[in-house]
Amino acid sequence: MPASAENLTIERIFQSPSLDGSAPINLQVSPDGKRVTFLKGKDTDYERYDLWEYDIASHQTQMLFNSDDLHAGPEELSDEEKARRERMRVHGSGIMDYQWSQDGKALLFPIAGDAYYYRLGDKQAKRLLDTPEFETDIKLSPKGNFISYVRDQNVYIKNVHTGEEKAITTEGGDNLKFGMAEFVAQEEMGRMTGYWWSPDESKIAFTKVDESPVKEITRSEIYADSIKMITQRYPMAGTPNVNISLAVQDLSSGTTDWVDLGEDKDIYLPRVKWMQDSQTLSYQWQTRDQKTLKLQAYDSNTKTQKTLLTETSNTWVNLHKDLRFLKNSKQFIWASERDGFKHLYLYNNDGSLVRQLTSGKWVVNDVESIDEAQGKIYFTGRKDTPLEQHLYAVSLKGGQIERISQRSGFHSINFSDDASVYIDKFSTANTPWQVSLHKADGEQQTWLEQNAIDDQHPLASYQDQWVKPTFGTLKADDGETLYYRLYTPKKLEGKHPAIVYLYGGPHAQVVTNSWGGNRGLLFEYWASKGYVVFSIDNRGSNYRGKAFEDAIYQKMGSIEVSDQIDGVKFLRTLDYVDASRIGVHGHSYGGYMTLMSMFKGGDYFAAGVSGAPVTDWALYDTHYTERYMGNPNEVPQAYEASSVFPYAKDLKGDLLIYHGMADDNVLYSHSTKLYKHLQDMAIPFEVMDYPGKKHGIRGKNTGIHLYHTITNFFDKHFGMK
C-alpha cells in the first residue's frame, strides 16, 4: 500500500511522532532579541519536552537542554503541582516551563520540583534547588538576582549568587496559605500565583489565604486498586469562600504592611500588579456577585490608596489580563466591555480617562505588546471575523486600526520586549501550527518551523482521505446569527449519520479556523468512517460580544440548547444527512450540554455521549457558577431550572456517560447522582468510568480507549462499521 493511502486510526492519533508535526510550544523571544527559545517534544515521546533555541543571526537551531540529562526516570509530582497543572491544562513531563532574565543573559527552568539556572555561555546549568520538598510557582526576580518559590505553603526567596535562602512568610500550614492562589483563583480567574515582585526587587506583595471558612467535602478518588477518601475545601455555589488578605513586604527592613481591602470580606482578588515606580501596587477588587470590579492603587510608602476606575454590569463583569502600565509615561492601558464589546482604553495613572483606543462590534483578544517609542499598541482580536484571530496595531493617540497578520487563519503572537519582532504561531483547520519570525510591521524574517505537509510530514500518508471543513452561518429562530463548522465524508452516498460536537459554555469557542489537535483528528477519523461532523457556537460562548454571552444569565441550559436544536434543524435540510441518526457529544460544559440536549431535545438527538458533566450547578464552585447563575440562596428556582434532573425523565435516545473517578473539578458525584436518578426511574443508559483520572482524563492509552469508547457507541447505535 503506498504511503499516501494509509487510513487514519485512533491509535495513530496518540502515537509518536505527533501528527501535528514538529511545531514547538512556549515560544519566547529573548529580551535582547537575539534568539528564540521554545519547548519541543521528543520524537520518541512528544509529551516529554526539551528546551531548544534558534539563533536569529546564524539561523541555527540547537537543543539547549535535554530533560533526560537533568532528570531521568518518572517525575513524582506533589499533590499541589498535580492540581496546578490540572488547573493550567498542562500535561507532559520534562522541562514544562522556563523564564528569561530581563537582561537576556540567563534562563530559569524548573523540573521535577527543583530549579535550574543557566547563564548563556556556561557549560552547564546550575541546580539552585535540590530539596526533598516539591517547590511550586518558581520565578526569577525582575533583575535576576533571586529566585522565589512556594514551599510548604510559605514564600521563599534565594539569592542566585550567594545561595542564601530567606523565608518571606513562616506561618503557612494547614488552612493558611501564603503566596498561593486559592482554588477558584486558579480554576476560574486564571490567576495561578499569589505573590508579585516589585520591578526594582525591593518589595514582594503576597496573599494570605485562610481556607477555614470553606466547607469541607469528603470525596472519593477511586483508583484501580484503592479508594482514597479526600477531604477537600471546595467552595460550592452559595457557600463561604476563603478569607483573602494582601500584604507588601519590604525586603531590606523585613516590614510587612497589610492592605486595607475594605469592610466587606466576602470579595475576590482576581489580579495584582505593580506600577513601574515599584511604589504603587494595583489590585483588582471584585464583589461576590461579580457585578462590580474596581481597580485600586495602593501607595506602599504612604499606606494610602484610591480607586482608579470601576466597572459595573447588570449581569457580570468579565476579567481580563490587559492592564499594562507604561514605562515612559504615567499612563496605563485597560480593557473594558462597557460599550458591549471588549475594547482598549488609555488612562492616566490617577484614573482619569484619556481616550478609547478601539471600538466597533467586534472584540479585542489580548494586548500583545506596546512600543512606546513608536506610540503603538499591538493586539490580537476578531475585527475581520470571529472565526480567526489576527494581529492588529493602533496608535496610542487613537485612530485607524492596522491589520498586521495577513494569512487567513489563527495567529498566536509572542513579541520581543522591545516590540521590534514577534513570533507568529499560525494554523488553519487543515494546517498544523506553523511558526515564523516577523518584524513588527508583519514582514516575515524566517521560518522557525514551517511544518509543511511534505513527504516527510507525519500527516502526509493520510492526505488522500483528508477532509476540509466548511464554515458558515445560520439564523436562530429569533434571527441571531450563529457560526457553524461542517465536516462531510469524502464520498457522499445516500444518508449519513451526524455527530454534533459541542461545548456551549461561556469563555469558550468551538468553531474557529484553527488546528484542532487530537480532537480535530478524531473529527477527520469520524468523517473517514462516513459521519457528518457538525459544531455550532451557541449564545453564551465567547468572542461575539457581551450581549451574546449575557443570554445565559440565570438560565443556563436553555438558550444554548435552543441554538443547538436550530443547528440540527439546519442539518436536517441537508439531503445527505439521516435525520434519524444525529448524535451529540461534549465534555465538561459540553457534557452538561449533551445531557440537556438529550433530555430536552430528544426529538432531535438520537444518541449522546456526555463526558464529565455538570449535572447540578449547586454542586459546582462559587466564582464560576454565581457569575452566570447568581447565588443559589437568592435564586433557587434558577438553579433548579438549570439542573439536568427535572428533565432526565424525558430521555428518549441512547446515552453514554463517562467520568474520571478522581475528578477534583467537576466532582465524580455529579455523575453518580445522575446514575442513581436514572436508575430510580428505571431508565437504561451506559457508563464508562476511568479509575484515578482527573477532569482531563489524560494519558495516551486512556485517550485511545476513550476515543474508541465514544466511536464504538455511535457505531453501535447508528449501525456503522
Known catalytic residues are: 588, 663, 695
**What does the angle CA 527 – CA 592 – CA 14 come to, to the nearest 5 degrees?**
40
Strands 390-395 and 376-381: antiparallel
HEC secondary structure over 517-580: HHHHHHHHHHHHHCCEEEEECCCCCCCCCHHHHHCCCCCCCCHHHHHHHHHHHHHHCCCCEEEE
What residue type is assigned to position 343 of the chain?
H
Cα–Cα distance, 312 to 323 (Å, whole number)? 17
Upstream peptide bond of 17 is cis (omega within 30 degrees of 0): yes
Q: Which of 215, 208, 213 is nearest to 246 (CA)?
A: 208
**3-class SS of residue 638:** helix
**3-class SS of residue 676:** helix
Cα–Cα distance, 484 to 573 (Å, whole number)? 15
Alpha carbon separation from 123 to 65, 120, 247, 350, 621 (Å, rounded): 11, 9, 40, 49, 48
Burial status of residue 327 (CB atoms within 10 A of its CB: 0-12, 13-18, 19 or more):
exposed
Alpha carbon of residue 275 to chain centroid: 26
All residues at 6 or more sequence positions from 663 whose CB lies less than 8 Å from its CB, including other chains = 612, 693, 694, 695
Gyration radius of the chain's alpha carbons: 26
Q: Tell me 514's DSSP state.
A: S
Cα–Cα distance, 554 to 635 (Å, whole number)? 8
- H or E element in which residue 119 lies: strand 114-119
- H or E element in which residue 335 lies: strand 331-336
All residues at 6 or more sequence positions from 544 whose CB lies less than 8 Å from its CB, including other chains = 363, 386, 537
Cβ atoms of residues 18 and 37 within 8 Å: no
For 10, the grid coordinates are: 485512533
Cβ atoms of residues 516 and 523 within 8 Å: yes
For 650, the grid coordinates are: 424525558
DSSP symbols for 177-190: EES---HHHHHHS-
Cα–Cα distance, 481 to 473 (Å, whole number)? 6
Cβ atoms of residues 66 and 59 within 8 Å: no
Cα–Cα distance, 498 to 534 (Å, whole number)? 7
Cα–Cα distance, 546 to 476 (Å, whole number)? 18
Among left, alpha and beta (phi > 0; psi -120 to 50; other), residue 57 is alpha
End-to-end, the C-alpha distance of the chain in Å comes to 22
Edge-to-edge order in the sheet of strand 304-312: 267-274, 280-287, 292-299, 304-312
For 465, the grid coordinates are: 482521505
Neighbours of 490 (CB within 10 A): 11
Q: Tell me 6's DSSP state.
A: P
User: Angle 700-718/517-529 helices, nearest 10 degrees?
Assistant: 30
Q: List b or e across 436-449, with b for residues whose CB sees 16 or more CB atoms inside 10 angstroms.
A: bbbebeeeeeeebb
Residue 342 β-bridge partners: none
